[in-house]
């Protein structure tokens, strides 16, 4: 039996986990930039391809930030939060994405 063929759209949905809606991210929207949560293994090329395919917009650039997880204590046991990767996507002039609505 052959392995089932995975659609490119499924990969794109796995690349973009969620939009990040904070005060700082809202201020970036004035500069035509949108912030998304992405997997730690995602590359800039993956993010660009996913945004262009899912939202049908032109991406000018992608900047990524890996935020290291904090070390916390819970009932005397030390643990670590997971690392998180954010992607700041700059769209072409005149393009926009409404992150308040779902896909």
Helix (H, G, I), strand (E, B) or coil at 73: strand
Is the separation of the CB atoms in 99 and 21 below 8 Å? yes
> What is the pTM assigned to this prediction?
0.82
pLDDT per position in the chain (103 positions), as tens? 555 555 567 788 889 999 999 999 999 999 999 999 999 999 999 999 999 999 999 999 999 999 999 999 989 999 999 999 999 999 999 988 887 776 5
Helices (H), the chain: 8-15, 23-28, 44-55
Please report the domains of the chain, with CATH numbers, ordered by start residue: 33-61+83-95 (3.30.70.330)
| Beta strands per DSSP E along the chain | 18-19, 33-38, 59-67, 71-74, 77-80, 84-91
Give the CB-side neighbour count of residue 13, counting CA atoms within 13 A: 7
């Amino acid at each position: 039996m052959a392995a089932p063929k995975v659609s490119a759209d499924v990969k794109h949905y796995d690349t973009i986990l969620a939009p990040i809606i904070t005060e700082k991210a809202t201020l970036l929207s004035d500069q035509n930039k949108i912030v998304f949560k992405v997997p730690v293994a995602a590359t800039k090329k993956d993010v660009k391809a996913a945004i262009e395919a899912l939202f049908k917009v032109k991406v000018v650039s992608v900047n990524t930030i890996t935020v290291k997880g904090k070390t916390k204590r819970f009932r005397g046991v030390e643990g670590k939060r997971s690392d998180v990767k954010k992607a700041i996507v700059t769209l072409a002039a005149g393009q926009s994405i409404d992150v308040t609505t779902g896909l």
